[in-house]
Structure 1
């Protein structure tokens, strides 16, 4: 209902949007009797309280800033933002009347021009013209002489459709009651359920029959152990399904649930649908996964950046679990021994008379670890020294060996730190005219390891 009259509780001023015809004449009178015009921004507009039933609709400027000019037009702001519709301006009362109530927390201000009285200036014959007098003469007697009664019956106030307020209120109450009892629009609270095994019941609110779309919320009184049913107000046991049409089996004591009837079953609201196929063993501990039975903790072991060490003698089983991608499968390393010969040469004779070390043999390794190296060394002449030494990539890593007899001597040592791709090298030197000889007849030179590859 749109009110056309209202009374300022402080000044008892009667406001009427129907007396706008006075605006021009009043403006001329104001000019003649010494009314000045002021322009001001952000004038606060507090609410005019009419009644608790009519709040947040009428807002008025403070006294002394109310007689607004229509030009320039007032600028109305809500929460600092200019608004232009859903309200009417009462220029004479310095007020804004909203068609639809705004929020109580909203703050209204106005940028307006208004008139103020100039002290000492009075009406004079020079200021007042016959034209203004004629306009005033055309106003009916007591046109604005209205006293609002202290009270009146509600049925004398009519709504826009000529219905009395009293009848209108009765219609509203009836509509509210109908709305509150329509459980397709409202979700009532039924309280705590009862149960026999997995058959649950609700006694309230009382209904005559179930209608598709009806909903209800309740607090469960006991854990479910299987597929549940629900009987609301004696309408019979109905199945309860999730949104993916699978039966509900996991109601918990103390859990609050909302269900809506689809014409055949109750559909539990708020379900997320399918959970997928992951199980606890496929979820990294200690994280959890949602299932039809609720949250369950993951059991997958977290190996993070763990490495896996391979060996040559047997397969290595990779432990089940999660690896973050920074770990490695480590290549196997050999241990020194005589079980397997990686290389041996007892065919070629290696000999030199050079007095400085000369590379006599080089092999590229495809393995790493600690290797056992042996060679059979003798001198070409008694009492003359013959030398031999193992190098790696041009750098000596073995013990310098020497003999000064033509009898053979076997030298064996374990050398660690070999990597795939390293160069295994034999360097030898004599003493000028004397030979340093690797004796092939008695075994030559070789590399052995402890691992066994053939049984």
Structure 2
């Protein structure tokens, strides 16, 4: 052999070249050798190994590229790759954002990379006690029924009014009679007004405002001309009864209206007229 060792085996049908050096025949080439198989050789290529000539079956993939979907995978195919292929993924990027709750849904779209924190604002005031009773806000059911305070001033004011006339005749009684009554639903400060007249006037025809049976005014004289009586800055609480009482010793009197006045409009109504 070229390395000086004796060779003892030859492959059948293989061609060998030897040279005489005056002493020994020297093998010019050892012949084919190696342990490669067809799958180790590119498709279409040939080689000679210890097993003889083989033809390659390894696919030549060249430059294989692939774009991944979100959370997708890709199996690299068996074969030869030239090193220029790429596996890529293109994902929209969303930076940091602060989301303030609104009256409509705000969507953080799927299929994007969040490059910054997405903050959905909260508030320590977002509690059931601050939400009107019965209103559902993101799963919180309100329990607030109100604790409003009203101050009567010269500004325009809201009026709850009963305009059903109430008559009183001296032929029936000359004592004080409950003519009008309203029940308050919210705490606050109100103004009371009542409109009345007497058939013939006189000093013995009177009107008085009361709260829960307690006098709010002195006896007010009713004349034959319709006029409005009032009392300001009456502090009220839920379920208080505001009343108009009257009496006459002659003829008859008529209380034509009874009004409860507030500074601001609230819903539901703050007054229920019971008489």
The answer to whether TM tops 0.5 is no
Normalised to the residue count of structure 1, the TM-score between the two structures is: 0.25
Tell which has more relative contact order, 1 or 2 (C-alpha 8 A, sep 6+): 2
Structure 2-normalised TM-score? 0.39
